[in-house]
Chain A
Amino acid sequence: MLLFWIVIRQLAEIEAMATSKKVITREEWEKKLNDVKIRKEDMNKLVMNFLVTEGYVEAAEKFRMESGTEPDIDLATITDRMAVKKAVQCGNVEDAIEKVNDLNPEILDTNPQLFFHLQQQRLIELIRNGKVEEALEFAQEELAPRGEENQSFLEELERTVALLAFEDVSNCPVGELLDIQQRLKTASEVNAAILTSQSHEKDPKLPSLLKMLIWAQNQLDEKAAYPRINDLSKAMLEDPAV
């Protein structure tokens, strides 16, 4: 965050100056970094926000004790949310649906798209387990009526049922539905919906700050050479190539 502001400020300064590329040395850059004061509590809040949103309940608990940062949500609700997420990730979709309904019956009733995706995931799991009869019955009874209500659901349903038509599903045009990635996608959709229902933002703030940092660096690249962060995981300043 700190770096972000410096980059932005630098951008503004350079904008006002000449068009030739300016070179900023490491010393100058670090001096500027030291001039910006950021409250530790704010940094802690960012970390807590990340832990809570991503559902790391134990880490959040520890972090709270160590840093004294209060989470903006009841930590108990994270456990419930994580149980739902995990159930989808493991393919126990029916269980996940029941858990969501216990948590708040409004979520699936007022979010037809999410409900459809969960049901679709359930169908995928039935097909994965070779339960063809059951899969067909389920598709007809639960999913077909939704397809009638919504054209795009119908298309997705047809794509899913197409899985039954292939001998070798791993090598068919709709094979990616069986991929673990599909489960993760569905799981994160449920996670976001639960968070929204709890009046909580569905994405953690930290990743968007990093995105902003990258954007700002790219903007600055056109105007100046400066110590850049290239590896976000290490956050090391790298000397400008002059």
Chain B
Amino acid sequence: MPTSASASDSSVAVSATLRQSDLLPRLASSDGVVQVKALRELKNRIIGNRTKKLSFIKLGLVPAVADILASKADAGDGRYSDLLIQSAAVVGSFACGFDAGVQAVLDAGVFPSLVRLLSHLDEKVVDAGARSLRMIYQSKLAPKYDFLQQKNMEFLLSLLNSENENVTGLGASIIMHSCETVAEQKALCQAGVLKKLISLLKGSLSQRDASLESLATIIKNNVEAVSEFVGSDSGRALRSVIELTKDRYPRTRLLASVCLIVIRNTCPCYLQDIGIKTKLVYLLLELHDDPGQVGDEASFAFSTLIAGSEDLQKLAFEANAIDKLYNHLQKGALHPKRVEGILLAMAELCSKLDSCRFKFISLKALDLVINGLTQDSAGVRAAACICLKSVSRSIKSLCAGDFMNEMIVIPLVQLLDDSCTSVQLSKSMDSDLRLNALWALRNLMFLADSASKESIFGELEASSLASLVSDSEPLVQEQALALVRNLVDGCVNCIEFVFAENGIILDAVGRHLQSIPKVEIGIQGMYLLCNVASGNEFHKEAVMHQLVPQAENGTQSFMIKFLQSSDSQLRTAAVWTIINLTFPSVPGAFGRLVKLRNTGIISQVKSMVNDPCLEVKLRIRTALAQFMTSDDGSI
């Protein structure tokens, strides 16, 4: 059986090339009958068959079909109906299910022709046009409508008011795709779209689903729109959505619960009763049983339901969510999207409650997550990192050494250098991965023993840590600094890590702190230096080297800026560092004090004696007391 990728791909390409050769001239024929026949043949070949779609796109068949549509779209009489129906169907199929197809269709300029079909007299032509446009609107590439423009709003309303189910469905798809800002949400509500969508809740199956989905889009994060919806028909609209969570169709149940989650997350004052919360938790867990798309999407909806809410996470825990998700994950041979969703849901569950984390660890779910770290799908790898990051927040487990094994650390470290796969990854995805891998490692290194630190450092190497510190993404920089901060926390031996390869890490940190894109980076960097400054004489001097500009070229030390920062955490970190540097009764303390005075740092510290932040104030006093001890009267 030749099922290997190369064998079948090439054979498909060859035979398709051989057989399509006559399609192009037939599509361009002046005889309508010949054209219709060619179109039908093309349609039947590509439907359901992505491989063929791609080869026909490459062979340039889309523009040929686009020409037919463009030339006949305005013919109002029935003469060309069949031609238009078949062309629209072909175009719709090319656009179905993958972006390359949508791009080819849009590039061929088909979009305006399809829109013109919507006002055709023949209902079947309208159907075909609306279906194809809906296919296009499944993709992110579809053109956006600006609803703030009157003519676009009128167009949308005409779609929603249509008797034709495919056309109202198209209207809903356009809303889902185009409505992004609060201003657009407002405009839609004012134009009566919300009311129209509510009335479609009573429509056919497909209208109901489309209506639920676009309702969620219009009211999301918009308090006013949510209130309007909840209040409409004296609460009947809300009640019918609640009722739809019991519908016999899983997709409808899912969409209805997503709608309720949006309401709850936007206005926490609604849907507060424990009954409905519990119901949503159980419903979404149960929807995971659906083998198709609904099951894949259920875990994402579940995550948004419990995100950031400790009481919902508790409810979910009591509903055995961890066991249930774990059982799904264990099945294997799952769609990557589903694995990603379940891992993210687990991450959310373990983000706050130790009870969830313990359950997670007791199920040995960690093995599945570790497995996820090395999957082909970048989304799965990122989700596994996030999950690990979340679970590893349990200080008890960290202390128990539950996480410290090479099975976790090595794949995490490899993810940091995910360059072999980055060809397929978008840049943002790439940095997302690095970010979450770092974050997980950072948590793992919190209070870790020195043997673990040695092993992770051996894997990471100083140079790659240094380059992560100088990463292009500020969030990555922050986590890299935090990781190093945890690495050098504790014993003197660990501090040596930043001096590996001629102090490449410390130099990177120092360079980086000269100009920080955000204050969190300053905080992590400063605590890192603070930890180093707690070491021996050599360590302290190295920190001084970073703080005090070597060439006295008049540049101000970043320490002054940090001490003057409006962020009290950054001020605290800076003062702590000075305390460590000027700790008395070690030989070099006085020399450092002098240097710090020369750069103006000491007078800055002295001026902060009444800092508004209590913590800073206390540290400043400690520092001042140390200065007094070392002082020979010259400071």
**Distance in angstroms between the alpha carbons of A151 and B332 in the assembled complex:** 11
**A130 contacts the other chain (CB 8 A):** no
**B426 contacts the other chain (CB 8 A):** no
Query: How far, in Å, is A223 (CB) from chain B's closest CB?
Result: 28
Q: Are A108 and B48 in contact, with the CB atoms below 8 A?
A: yes
Segment among A26-34, A140-148, A174-182 that sits at the interface with chain B: A140-148
Q: Are B12 and A199 in contact, with the CB atoms below 8 A?
A: no
Chain A, residues 119-151, CB within 8 Å of chain B (1/0): the string is 100000000000000000001111011011101
**Distance in angstroms between the alpha carbons of A98 and B12 in the assembled complex:** 21
Q: Are A199 and B205 in contact, with the CB atoms below 8 A?
A: yes
**A216 contacts the other chain (CB 8 A):** no
**Distance in angstroms between the alpha carbons of A158 and B1 in the assembled complex:** 8
Given contacts A199-B165, A199-B206, whether A109 and B8 have CB atoms under 8 Å apart is no
Residues of A within 8 A of B48 (CB): 108-109, 112, 115, 119
Q: Are B206 and A110 in contact, with the CB atoms below 8 A?
A: no
Segment among B91-99, B345-353, B449-457, B466-474 that sits at the interface with chain A: B91-99
**CB-nearest residue of chain A to B11:** A140
Query: How far, in Å, is B199 (CB) from chain A's closest CB?
Result: 16
Residues of B within 8 A of A108 (CB): 47-48
Query: How far, in Å, is B610 (CB) from chain A's closest CB?
Result: 69
- Most chain B CB within 10 A, of A105, A141, A142, is at A105
**A154 contacts the other chain (CB 8 A):** yes
**Distance in angstroms between the alpha carbons of A63 and B628 in the assembled complex:** 105
**B15 contacts the other chain (CB 8 A):** yes
**Distance in angstroms between the alpha carbons of A67 and B464 in the assembled complex:** 81
**A222 contacts the other chain (CB 8 A):** no
**B419 contacts the other chain (CB 8 A):** no
**A60 contacts the other chain (CB 8 A):** no
Residues of A within 8 A of B49 (CB): 142, 145
Interface residues of B in 21-50 (CB under 8 A from A): 40, 43-44, 47-50
**Distance in angstroms between the alpha carbons of A196 and B249 in the assembled complex:** 11
- Most chain A CB within 10 A, of B2, B44, B165, is at B44
**A47 contacts the other chain (CB 8 A):** no
Query: How far, in Å, is B139 (CB) from chain A's closest CB?
Result: 13
Query: How far, in Å, is A204 (CB) from chain B's closest CB?
Result: 14
Query: How far, in Å, is B293 (CB) from chain A's closest CB?
Result: 10
**CB-nearest residue of chain B to A106:** B131
Per a CB cutoff under 8 Å, which of A106, A140, A151, A201 touches B135?
Answer: A106
Given contacts A110-B97, A148-B3, whether A101 and B43 have CB atoms under 8 Å apart is yes
Given contacts A145-B49, A148-B5, whether A106 and B96 have CB atoms under 8 Å apart is yes
Q: Are B97 and A105 in contact, with the CB atoms below 8 A?
A: no
Q: Are A98 and B44 in contact, with the CB atoms below 8 A?
A: yes
Residues of B within 8 A of A109 (CB): 47-48, 92-93, 96-97, 135
Query: How far, in Å, is B212 (CB) from chain A's closest CB?
Result: 14
Chain A, residues 37-67, CB within 8 Å of chain B (1/0): the string is 0000000000000000000000000000000
**A84 contacts the other chain (CB 8 A):** no
Residues of B within 8 A of A104 (CB): 131
Further contacts, 12 of them, CB under 8 A, given A105-B89, A109-B96: A97-B44, A98-B40, A106-B92, A106-B135, A109-B92, A109-B135, A115-B47, A141-B8, A141-B11, A144-B3, A145-B9, A145-B49
- In the assembled complex, 11 residue pairs joining A and B whose CB atoms fall closer than 8 Å, in A order, are A97-B47, A101-B44, A101-B89, A102-B40, A105-B93, A109-B96, A144-B2, A145-B50, A149-B50, A154-B3, A199-B165
B residues apposed to A, CB below 8 Å: 1-3, 5, 8-9, 11-12, 15, 40, 43-44, 47-51, 89, 92-93, 96-97, 131, 135, 165, 204-207, 248, 333
A residues apposed to B, CB below 8 Å: 97-98, 101-102, 104-106, 108-110, 112, 115, 119, 139-142, 144-145, 147-149, 151-152, 154, 157-158, 161, 196, 199-201
